Amino acid sequence: MPIPEEVKAEVVQMVDSGIYPSVALAAYDGGLAEFFVYGEADVDAGIDATEETIYEIGSITKTFTGLVLAQAFVDERLHLWAPLDDIFPESLGLRDPRGTPIELAHLGRSLMRPLVSQIICKNDNNYTNLHN
């Protein structure tokens, strides 16, 4: 599936208008890859972006992480009911207020938000206002 010309034109417009210094797209279909890269990787130095330019994931981190986890589940390398202690260091104490291990599937439930907030606040880091 080639990258549509309309998408390429939108990328050119966004870069030319200064919204982004560069954009790199990749489409994979049947083992074949098509790339479209436009703009500069280093504007100050005038270095063009290429297929090899490394970008930060940015605001799609949750989507990317979700896709990676979903693929690991499909490949049977990860189980939704695996306790987080099996994945992360046990020293993080990823348990609910009753001491029950939190399972990976729990993280996708909206009911977990207050619990995650408690854990974050308990660990006294910069995200203490997450629950507000």
Residue 86 inside a domain? The answer is yes
Cβ 78 vs Cβ 66: under 8 Å: no
Can you give the residue range of the structural domain that contains 27? 5-55
Cβ 107 vs Cβ 82: under 8 Å: no
Residue 69 inside a domain? The answer is no
Comparing 61 with 33, which gets the higher pLDDT?
33
Residue 132 inside a domain? The answer is no
Cβ 40 vs Cβ 49: under 8 Å: yes
- Is 33 strand, coil or helix? strand
Residue type, 40: E
Residue 65 inside a domain? The answer is no
**Do 51 and 83 share a structural domain?**
no
pLDDT range class, residue 115, cuts 50, 70, 90: very low
Residue 72 inside a domain? The answer is no
**Do 15 and 51 share a structural domain?**
yes
The number of distinct structural domains making up the chain is: 2
Residue 14 inside a domain? The answer is yes
What's residue 111's pLDDT?
43
CA distances from 63 to 22, 59, 100 (A): 21, 9, 28
Cβ 70 vs Cβ 80: under 8 Å: no
Residue 128 inside a domain? The answer is no
Stated pTM of the model:
0.48
Q: How far apart are CA 2 and CA 105, in angstroms?
A: 35
- Smallest CA-to-CA distance from 6 within 14, 30, 53, 39 is with 14
Residue 118 inside a domain? The answer is yes
pLDDT range class, residue 108, cuts 50, 70, 90: low
Indicate the average pLDDT of the chain: 78
Cβ 33 vs Cβ 26: under 8 Å: yes
Structure tokens at 7: 């998408």
